[in-house]
Structure 1
Amino acid sequence: MRGFRAKDADRDRFVELIEAAYVDGQLNSADRELRVGRALSAETLDELETLTRDLQQPPGAVVRPTVDVPSPAPSFATTVLPRIAGSFVVLGIVAVALVIGAVVVTMFASMGGQSSDSGFGTDGVFESELADPEIMFEDPPAPSFEMTAPQVRAFLRAYEKQFGTLEVYEAGFYPERVGVQVPVRGSRPRMERWSWTGEWRQDTEASAVTGPGEVIDLGKVDVRRMFANIDTARATLDVERGRLTHVLVNSWIGDVPSVNIYIGNKFNEGGYLKTRLSGDVIRAYPYEP
């Protein structure tokens, strides 16, 4: 694999292998942070192999990526001939359609003197369809959000487009929505609460700032590292059958801006992992009975 360029999918697979080795006890936290950082910036598959060559693959770990083998060049028989045959088929269909169209026009011309009791309007559309346009058109699907890396990135683009900034007092990422405290410009600290579910909804008017009092820049959140840390939190916080409940991005007065990943289960047991915006782990708070 020497010399082959690494893709984002390759980097993600090797990051997962490093995280699995960390959970398996093969790496300490400092070594894990170093290797993950180098894996995310690796340019070739050879660099990725070097980072993980000394690691044992824990049960369920991702296997080494393979290099795609180019497909043989298409032949005349598999490309040109089908196109020629397809052209004749299309011409035949067009000819048949023209004949049918001519017959239909002739029939409507002969019915021109009949009354409109047949159910057709003046433009040939059923009157029932004119009275009920829902028969002809369906509502478009409602916008939606789910907690995935591509949709978090889409939310960040939508936030900057809506508010002209990426600054917030707090952002809460939930499985099916995002809630944000949006700063309001003025002489005193004010905020509005908004929700994103694929479209924007304003939840409150401007009010005094409550909770975290420091403005943070969502543009500094490393989304890739955040989702890698979600996997780490599930595996290390000792929450039985734990699932992601939410992620809070905020900064309390006197504290560093942080990404707080909360894991819980149906027994109301939970823990959370606190990291910097860059993804570096600050501290883990596992479940304690």
Structure 2
Amino acid sequence: MSTAAPGRMRSRDIDRAHTAGKLDAAYAEGQLGAAEYHDRIARARVAKTLGELSDLVADLQQAAAGQPVVVPPPSGYPPGTRARTADRRAAGELLDRAYGEGQLTEDEHRAATELLAEATTLGDLADITADLQGPRNTPVAPRPPGSGRSGRYFAVLTAAALAVTIGAFTLTSRDTDSAASAPPPAAVAPAEPGEPGPAPEQPDPLVFAPPNLVTGAGLAQFIGEYRERFGDTVADQIWLYPDHGDVERAVPGQPNRLVSYDYRGGFNQSDDLTTRPVDTSTVDLGTLDTGAIGRVLADAPAIARVPDGAVTHMSFEIQTHSPYNGVPAVSVYVSNTFDESGWLLVGVAGDVLRVRPFEG
């Protein structure tokens, strides 16, 4: 009896659900844009073979694959692997550091930043940063499920999560099929005078989008949720974007261990623990005057002379270059659709310390 090649084997619901989970993780990490994600999810739902499913995730990093990658080592992911948001941020930090250290001129920094915005793979990021000095984060090889002391717990959690995913996947498919085949609703005749009319339709539930984190209101909400989550407002470094944030801080009670969190309406650990120098300088979010900084953020495009610009992201950390060495300050980055960009350095009280305007 002949058997089909592995890639031509028929896929099961559990195979399609497992692939959908990988796509969800890749979308959350920024490896896929919204259009690509929705297209691949749709294709996963109707995939007939294991080969079709494999093709949908072949160019993706595994979830929680370790530290962001800028230049992948020989044993790491191949250059054609999709880059995550964390990888692009790491490359952007290297470019910003190189600019501050004088490795790049303003024009070179702007050109490299424009290329970074278009980069989709780890190889693209490596090419952009290949001639720069500075530390590069490298990937940690993904550990197979079941290895280490937490293997049994991982297996149990994975099975539970997969069961939930399969249930949701199956119900969604059946609901969609049912909706497609259901007859249109019958017309309801108007009620006669004096008779009660039909019950009003229930409104759709309201969905409240989180505020833009690079505004004064968004910053204030982030600080409040940070205090509630961690019991303090201290961090090594904070990066905020309009719709998400990244946090690095010491593990409580272990000042030599660094933990990273991804914020998307809640804080989730994004990487494995790494070594942290015990004398690392920290910043205190509680010292920020969110009202004053919010006003600077609103005026940032004008201050940076970026036409039709917007704040793309900002960071809060201890400065390491004179004349502000050792000073906690907020770096604000402004850009527009033409990749014309500028930069501000803002003190905790909202005072603009330094400006690198767009000089187009």
* TM bucket normalised to smaller: 0.3 to 0.5
TM-score of the aligned structures, taking structure 1 as reference length? 0.47
TM-score of the aligned structures, taking structure 2 as reference length? 0.39
